[in-house]
Amino acid sequence: MSRHRPTDNIWQTPEQHATTRVLLHACCAPCSGAIVEAMLGHGLHPTLFYCNPNIYPEAEYQRRRDEALRYASTMGIDFVEDSYDHAAWRKTVEGLEHEPERGNRCLECFAMRLRRAALYAAGHGFGLVATTLASSRWKSLEQIGIAGARAVDGIPGVVFWQANWRRGGLQERRNAIIREQNFYNQLYCGCEFSMAHLTENDDKE
């Protein structure tokens, strides 16, 4: 049985599990803004978990990390940085280098990062794991749900909180926070393969 729990009322999930602590996997500051604000507004206590070994080059990883850390500090929430191991990520997606965006490479990438989040959650008393990936219109919600279910499989006490973080005015609020915070707003997903895709599109224009 799938352990991710989509629901029309996204706030039912923490209520059902009687918890206010959420480990929120953060891909970047722009995607985190409205989700963090909304969680705090609903009495939840998110901790940002920055696990993004896909990001290339490392200077880009650091720039995005620093923006996410800045926002966490602004909002008064905890920030945890996972290790940056791009070589391990490359091994995870080996053979999928030529997959299109939203293809199998993205699925394996999500699954790796969310698995690390789930393992951290299990070791630090978090019952819920969510991800800011689900706020991006460029990402497949179906893929994120599949990856999240895989991530918590076999980890007792940890549930993946699947939600469409684009609804309920969150997409509009996301865009407003980007402007208010003057976030660095990246132009490609993160990995070198998505960077190449961006370059190809630029060449066609």
Sorting pLDDT into bands at 50, 70 and 90, what band is 20? very high
Say whether pLDDT at 125 is over 70: yes
User: Is residue 107 in some structural domain?
Assistant: yes
Q: Any idea what the CATH number is for the domain that residue 190 is in?
A: 3.40.50.620
Domain containing 97 equals: 12-204
Q: Residues with Cβ < 8 Å from 33, sequence gap 6 or more? A: 71, 173, 174, 177, 178, 181, 183
Residue 197 lies in a domain: yes
What's residue 1's pLDDT?
27
Number of domain units in the chain: 1
The model's pLDDT over 157-176, given as tens digits with 9 standing for 90+, comes to 999 999 999 999 999 999 99
| In a domain? residue 111 | yes
Query: 4 lies in a domain?
Result: no
Q: Can you give the pLDDT at residue 4?
A: 36
Q: What is the pTM of this model?
A: 0.92
Q: Where are the beta strands (DSSP E) in 73-146?
A: 79-81, 128-131
**In a domain? residue 7:** no
Is the residue at 6 inside a domain? no
In a domain, 32, yes or no: yes
DSSP structure class, residue 188: S
- For residues 57-69, give the mean pLDDT: 98
H helix or E strand, kind and range, residue 2: none
pLDDT at 6 over 60: no
Q: Give me 4's structure tokens.
A: 């991710």
Residue 90 lies inside a defined structural domain of this protein: yes
Residues 6+ apart with CB under 8 A from 52: 27, 28, 61, 64, 65, 82, 84, 113, 190
